[in-house]
Structure 1
Amino acid sequence: MGIGVLIVDDSSFFRQQIKAIINAHPQLTVVGEASNGREAIEKAIRLKPSVITMDYEMPMMDGISAVREIMRQQPTPILMFSSLTLKGARVTLDALDAGAVDFLPKSYERVSGSNSSLKQVLVDKLLTLAKASSAQQTTPAAPPAKSTASTKRYNQKFDLVLIGTSTGGPVALQKVLTQLPAGFPSPILLIQHMPGSFTGAFAERLNTQCRIRVKEARDGEVLRAGEAYLAPGGMQMMLSGKGKLKIFEGDARLNYKPSVDLTFGSAVKYYSKHCLALVLTGMGADGREGARLLKQAGSVVWAQEGRTCVIDGMPSAVVKANLADEVVPLPEIAKRLAEVVR
């Protein structure tokens, strides 16, 4: 049986364009459409789709309210469509807090044209979210995952913490960073796959929630202990010296902007074995090769435990390459960081 998709949008034009893209794929089928949040909830419960695409601004009930209610009554992977504006970024972050798992920029021009890359991204996200959800549902119930080395100690001092993530990352980062103490002794670099118009709003949100300071990184910035620096979306972030950042557009051949591999790899020259790098939830394998370079230099690499990930692609790539010193469930990461970074 194919993967059923429920499309929720008050624009009939947008629904029809998305429907055509989805139905053109042999594994995907549109099982229903809704034009407002209330209708979305009713159809989510009745049709039980594998995945839902969701707009925000709709009559009768907005998308965030619908996401929250669907996750309460009929938990389903939800992909948000959002505008590339500051307001759109804040709304999307609210939707992720409410339970949506990923998002795509909403563009009438791109979805109605012949943009094959956009269509492929949409299809890939729908397939990945549906399959990840199906795998979680069919996995036998197990006790809460435990860290593979919850009492492990390290000889070196960690002068820099690096965290790379993608799908599911905004919520994962929030859970980790909000639990860190105000006096955290090292700077933290955050690499989250996210559009450029979103990272400023995300850093601003984290800063209001955390005891450490969180900011969007700037070119030439000098790192300070107890501060976290979020790589700007659409740009690359690397170390240009010990404790100094370089922000630049980067090579078009790199798949991700920002790239976890690039930031991780750049830390080797200046920090050698004094890095602690974490790879959290996300699609693909970004971070694996950067983790390999850090490991070769003697630094430490952790991966998020798979059952606590939205998508286990990035962490499992690190684990399968035998690069993870620890595999840590998301709820334990902040505690472990506080224990070993001194």
Structure 2
Amino acid sequence: MIVEDSAVVRHLLAHLVSRDPRLELAAAVASAEEALAEIERVRPDVISMDIRLPGLDGLEATRRIMAEHPTPIVVIADAVEERGLRISMNALRAGALTVVEKPLGPGREGWEAVAEAICTQLFIMSQVPVIRQRGIGGMGAGPGRAASARAGVPPFSRPSMVGIAASTGGPPAIARVLGALPADFAAPILLVQHMGASFMEGFAAWLDGLVAPRVLIARDGMRPQPGQVHVAPGNRHLSLTPAGLLRVTDTPPVGGQRPAADVLFDSMARALGPRAMGILLTGMGEDGARGLVAINSAGGITLAEDETTAIVYGMPAAAVRLGGVSASLPLDGIGPRLLRAIGGTLEATGGQ
């Protein structure tokens, strides 16, 4: 189902769907109200959701759909419009699975790539099982599987830096983990989120407004600071040099990804050894699994989001299969475990 108020964009999206053999157009409507009225009859496998709609906007539509008719939702947004980006990120918190750039039409630069990205995301997300949204604060830190039953932090060295990676479903999961941390959290955090390059500045700004630690886009040559979250820029790898500086590069994708979690985690294992900590959250595919093994083999702490809370249990599952995970935890257990592992704040660790 396409939900889009612009007749031009609605017809364009319908054309893209109709020419893709993986997809079939179930309905195309101009408002959230029409979508809510039609969804029970149409029963779409996936919804393409415009974020700026007359009447109910895409955020409220996402909330209603996830509460009443849970369905995979792909947000279609203008990547350069600030308010739309903010609404899009909040729609991800409300249960939408991913956000992609709105097509501008044939003949525009990058048109075919944007068209292919939209159709591929619609197809992939149509396969993701979703559940009735329980609200951003409603997910308890219930018991995970055997690896998460250990009560204390394993007897590793205290980490000096944390790497976090996520893909599908990542923005709200990252917000939950970072939301448990104080502004003066005692270690720098390096973050890889698979997302369209044009959305990364907006994603970092949105996250910065939600959590206490400062969130900023990583820059080549920066020295990461405690209490700061350094986000990999769009379409660039983020890694750590042996001298402890950030490295941002446009070297080829790894495992089809740029930025790649494996690049970040591997560099942290080499530079920090047992003082590295890696966390792998929800996401499709296997990026980050081998890098988490590298940190684990170097003696560092490695956490993976448990299947009980992961929107897509792909990347964490791959890391578990490879034996690279110290503990699998439900989402709400990761922030507190991170706090205990690091020692919490600069004051608690004797930092400056």
- TM-score by length of structure 2 reads 0.85
Q: Which secondary structure state, in structure 1, belongs to the residue aligned with residue 26 of structure 2?
A: strand
Q: Residues of 2 paired with 1:289 and 1:261: CA distance?
A: 6
Point out where structure 1 has 5 or more consecutive residues left out of the alignment. Answer: 1-5, 138-142
Match of 2:173 in 1: 172
* Match among 35, 42, 50 for residue 40 of structure 1: 35
Q: Indicate the residue corresponding to 1:126 in structure 2.
A: 122
Specify the code of the residue in structure 2 equivalent to 1:303.
A
**Residue 159 to residue 119, structure 1, CA distance change in 2 (3 Å):** same
Distance, in Å, in 2 between the alignment partners of 1:61 and 1:21 is 25
Relative distance call for 1:26 and 1:72 in structure 2 (3 A) is same
Percent identical: 30
Q: What residue number does 1:105 align with?
A: 101
For 2:110 and 2:188, locate their aligned partners in 1 and report how far apart those are by CA, in whole Å: 44
TM-aligned CA distance change 1:154 to 1:253, over 3 Å: closer
Q: For 1:257 and 1:96, how far apart are their aligned partners in 2? A: 21
- CA drift of 1:144 comes to 4.2
Q: How many angstroms does 1:263 deviate by?
A: 1.0
Aligned pairs for 1:47-196 within 5 A: 47-87=42-82, 88-109=84-105, 117-133=113-129, 144-146=142-144, 148-149=147-148, 150-152=150-152, 153-196=154-197
Q: Which secondary structure does the structure 2 equivalent of 1:72 belong to?
A: helix
1:100 aligned partner, one-letter code: A
Normalising by structure 1, what TM-score?
Answer: 0.87
Distance in 1 (CA, whole Å) between partners of 2:110 and 2:79 is 20
Q: Which amino acid aligns with 1:183?
A: D
Partner of 1:316: 317
* Structure 2 Cα separation of the partners of residues 151 and 316 of structure 1: 21
Contact 1:8–1:34, Cα closer than 8 Å, also in 2: yes
Gap runs ≥5 in structure 2: 133-140, 344-352
Q: 2 CA distance for matches of 1:146 and 1:111?
A: 50
Match of 1:204 in 2: 205
1:262 paired with 2:263, answer yes
CA spacing shift, 1:322–1:7, aligned 2, 3 Å: same
Offset at 1:256? 1.8
Deviations 1:37-58 (A, max 9, x none): 1111111233222211111223
CA distance in structure 1 between the aligned counterparts of 2:177 and 2:3, rounded to whole angstroms: 32
Q: 1:258 to 1:113 in 2, by over 3 A?
A: closer
SS at match of 1:162: strand
Q: 5 Å matches for 1:238-257?
A: 238-251=239-252, 255-257=256-258
* 1:221 aligned counterpart, secondary structure: coil
Matched residue SS, 2:100: strand
Task: Decide whether the 8 Å contact of 1:22 with 1:28 is kept in 2.
Answer: yes
Tell whether 2:2 aligns with 1:7.
yes
Q: Secondary structure at the match of 2:24?
A: strand
* CA positional deviation for 1:254: 6.1
Q: Which moved more, 1:265-274 or 1:125-134?
A: 125-134
Identify the range of structure 1 (214-223 vs 194-203) with the bigger mean alpha-carbon deviation.
194-203
Three-state SS of the structure 2 residue aligned to 1:256 is: coil
1:33–1:191 CA distance, 2 compared to 1 (3 A): same
Superposition deviation, residue 95 in structure 1: 2.0
Classify 1:268/1:155 alpha carbon distance in 2 versus 1 (closer, same or farther; 3 Å): closer
Matches within 5 A, 1:259-298: 259-298=260-299
2:172 aligns to what SS in structure 1? helix
Between 332-341 and 148-157, the greater mean CA deviation after superposition: 148-157
Amino acid at match of 1:95: A
Instruction: Give the Cα separation in 1 of the matches to 2:252 and 2:21.
Output: 34
Residue aligning to 1:3: none
Whether the 8 Å CA contact 1:234–1:249 is kept in 2: the answer is: yes
Q: Residue 246 of structure 1 aligns to which amino acid in structure 2?
A: R
CA contact (8 A) 1:165 1:193 kept: yes
